[in-house]
């Protein structure tokens, strides 16, 4: 039986492992941390449950398709609920509520800007077409050739690859709050909306058209489901096994070394951060130079806080965005002039608002995220300074005092991303999807220098986010299966 070694146990690695085990290969996962899940691990403390990384469950169709490939359904493993409202956005002088249907969202848009719902419906219809093309035609290609992007549908939409989502949105909407609301979804792709092609408006369809969902028990339920599926399929999982080296013999990857032991494989796939994965090779086998990595645009890093509150919050929903300071200034301080933000925007997540299993009775589980430039200095003092800033703003905008209700708080920032995931410059969610970093222009799924060596995950194709990571695992498994075909 052919042996496949998979490095890492994030969504992409688990996905690849499941497909390859289903195909009949002997698959072993080697994960450096003591639990699986990568950036999507879980923190449980004093009865509070926190998702350490992802918290937005978008594109439910992609999860359904993944499990359907194994004749399963998501409901075989976890219970999904569509959130209503999907989320709230706090501005300086108003709060927007995004409901769970287009009708509700249109009503809210009309309240802010008369006549905007007509434009919104048109915009979302176009976004839906883009979604269907992106999901059914583009992202399922491995990014090996520019020709993959040339389809009759993309040729007809070529202008959308050269205009930014910001330009598109500003053509139809004038109110800055609506503009920020429509620019928010592409932040998941890791770049400024002014640098993201308007074709990516398919993220707006994911947002308003498909909705925001919550797996009961939190996002870690998906990881548990995939771990169970992998084990059912015969995958062996070694946690607490950092890979120290990828061995190459005669131009072919042959084995890995972990904790001083050597494990042979016919194929090696790394789902660890791409830059780090290449450092496991001797220099002559690395495809990309340090300058290459340094010149890329990364998705932001983040300063995160996991807070146990001993009371229920008022005025908040499960997902809350605090866009009460300048979106443009904060983006500039992430991408153009990397520095700690002068007036940070932030995101606050209270999963216990809709799921009582996430916190002890009468308490609230709070997760706060400030996006920041990768590679910034990270000290305990800076973390505390920014916690104070956002908690003050949170109290002001929601009209309640919460500081005296904090039972504990944990934080996570650049140094933790580096130390826990070997993340390049402490990026939180990989390499941004700009035009120059799309499809075949991203770091490749297949090594160009070492035979039998492959890569998967948010730094390669198709890009950042949980659904793309599931797809990345599938794409790399298809290449591997082709390679090992008799």
Site residues for ligand FAD per CB under 6 A: 7-13, 30-33, 38-40, 53-56, 242-243, 271-272, 276, 302, 304, 369, 421-422, 428-430, 457-458, 464-466, 469
Smaller CB separation from ligand FAD, 14 or 124: 14
Closest by CA to 248, choosing from 280, 271, 217, is: 280
> Which H or E element spans position 42?
strand 42-45
The sign of the dihedral angle between the CA atoms of 415, 417, 421, 424 is negative
Is 454 in contact with 482 (CB distance < 8 Å)?
no
The least distance separating ligand FAD from the CB of residue 262, rounded to whole angstroms, comes to 14
Candidates 275, 378, 319, 313; CA nearest to 89 is: 319
Give CA 111 to chain center in angstroms: 32
d(CA 208, CA 186): 13
Shortest reach from residue 249's CB to ligand FAD, in Å? 20
Q: Pull the structure tokens for residue 70.
A: 């194994």
For 261, other C-beta atoms within 10 Å of its C-beta total 11
- Eight-class DSSP state of 298: B
Tokens linked to 317: 């929903």
Q: Which is nearer to ligand FAD, 267 or 466 (CB)?
A: 466
Instruction: Considering the complex, state which of residue 8 and residue 211 has its C-beta at the smaller distance from ligand FAD.
Output: 8
Nearer to ligand FAD, 154 or 463 (CB): 463
Smallest distance from ligand FAD to CB 417, Å: 7
| CA dist., res. 441 & res. 438, Å (int) | 5
- Rounded distance, CA 9 to CA 222, Å? 13
Tokens in use for 383? Answer: 């973390």
* Rounded Cα–Cα distance for residues 143 and 147 (Å): 9
- The residue behind tokens 């053509």 is 171
Minimum distance from residue 115 beta carbon to ligand FAD (Å): 32
**In terms of CB distance, is 192 or 241 closer to ligand FAD?**
241
Measured from the CB atom, the residue of 31 and 183 that comes closer to ligand FAD is 31
Sheet holding 364-372, edge to edge: 95-98, 87-90, 319-322, 346-349, 364-372, 301-309, 406-412
Task: Please classify residue 16 by burial: count the beta carbons closer than 10 Å to its beta carbon, then call 0-12 exposed, 13-18 middle and 19+ buried.
Answer: buried
Which tokens in the block code for residue 76? 């075989």
- Cα-Cα-Cα-Cα dihedral of 260, 412, 418, 143, to 10°? 110
Q: Considering the complex, state which of residue 452 and residue 469 has its C-beta at the smaller distance from ligand FAD.
A: 469
- The residue among 21 and 106 lying less far from ligand FAD, judged by its C-beta, is 21
Q: Are 316 and 309 in contact (CB under 8 A)?
A: no
| Nearest-approach distance from CB 201 to ligand FAD, in angstroms | 17
Report, in Å, the least distance between residue 428 CB and ligand FAD.
4
| Smallest distance from ligand FAD to CB 412, Å | 8
Q: Measured from the CB atom, is 91 or 188 closer to ligand FAD?
A: 188
Instruction: State in angstroms the smallest separation of the CB of 465 from ligand FAD.
Output: 4
- The minimum distance between CB 235 and ligand FAD, in angstroms, equals 15
How far is it, in rounded angstroms, from Cα 98 to Cα 113?
15
Strand pairing partners for 9? Answer: none
Shortest Cβ 158–ligand FAD spacing (Å): 28
| Shortest distance (Å) from residue 245 CB to ligand FAD | 9
CA distance 282 to 138: 34
- In the complex with ligand FAD, the residue whose CB is nearer, 116 or 430, is 430
Q: Which CB, 476 or 481, lies closer to ligand FAD?
A: 476
């Amino acid at each position: 039986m052919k042996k496949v070694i998979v490095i890492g146990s994030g969504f992409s690695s688990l996905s690849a492992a499941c497909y390859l085990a289903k195909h009949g290969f002997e698959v072993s996962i080697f994960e450096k941390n003591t639990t699986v899940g990568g950036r999507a691990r879980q923190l449980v403390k004093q009865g509070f449950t926190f998702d350490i990384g992802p918290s937005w469950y978008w594109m439910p169709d992609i999860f359904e398709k993944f499990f359907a490939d194994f004749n399963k359904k998501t409901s075989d493993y976890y219970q999904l609920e569509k959130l209503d409202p999907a989320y709230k956005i706090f501005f300086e002088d108003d709060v927007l509520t995004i409901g769970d249907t287009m009708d509700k969202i249109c009503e809210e848009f009309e309240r802010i800007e008369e006549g905007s719902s007509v434009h919104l419906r048109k915009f979302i219809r176009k976004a839906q077409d883009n979604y269907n093309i992106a999901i059914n035609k583009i992202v399922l290609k491995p990014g090996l050739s520019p020709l993959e992007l040339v389809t009759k549908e993309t040729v007809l939409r070529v202008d959308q690859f050269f205009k930014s989502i910001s330009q598109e949105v500003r053509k139809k909407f004038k109110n800055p709050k609506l503009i920020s609301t429509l620019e928010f979804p592409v932040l998941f792709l890791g770049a400024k909306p002014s640098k993201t092609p308007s074709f990516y408006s398919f993220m707006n369809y994911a947002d308003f058209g498909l909705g925001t969902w919550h797996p009961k028990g939190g996002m870690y339920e998906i990881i548990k489901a995939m771990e169970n599926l992998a084990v059912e399929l015969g995958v062996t999982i070694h946690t607490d096994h950092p890979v120290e080296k990828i061995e190459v013999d005669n131009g072919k990857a042959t084995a890995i070394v972990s904790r001083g032991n050597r494990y042979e494989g016919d194929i090696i796939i790394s789902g660890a951060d791409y830059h780090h994965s290449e450092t496991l090779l001797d220099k002559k086998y690395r495809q990309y130079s340090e300058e290459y990595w340094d010149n890329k645009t990364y998705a932001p890093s983040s300063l995160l806080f996991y807070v146990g509150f001993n009371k229920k919050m008022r005025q908040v929903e499960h997902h809350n965005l605090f866009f009460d300071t300048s979106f443009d200034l904060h983006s500039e301080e992430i991408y153009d002039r990397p520095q700690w933000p002068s007036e940070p925007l932030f995101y606050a997540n209270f999963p216990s608002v809709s799921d009582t299993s996430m916190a002890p009775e009468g308490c609230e589980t709070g997760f706060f995220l400030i996006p920041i430039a990768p590679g910034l200095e990270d000290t305990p003092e800076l973390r505390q300074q920014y916690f104070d800033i956002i908690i003050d703003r949170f109290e002001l905008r929601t009209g309640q005092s919460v500081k005296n209700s904090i039972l504990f708080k944990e934080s996570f920032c650049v140094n933790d991303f580096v130390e826990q995931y070997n993340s390049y410059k402490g990026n939180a969610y990989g390499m941004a999807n700009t035009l120059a970093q799309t499809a075949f222009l991203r770091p490749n799924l297949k090594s160009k220098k070492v035979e039998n060596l492959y890569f998967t995950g948010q730094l390669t194709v198709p890009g950042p986010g949980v659904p793309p990571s599931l797809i990345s695992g599938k794409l790399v498994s298809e290449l591997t299966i082709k390679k090992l075909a008799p």
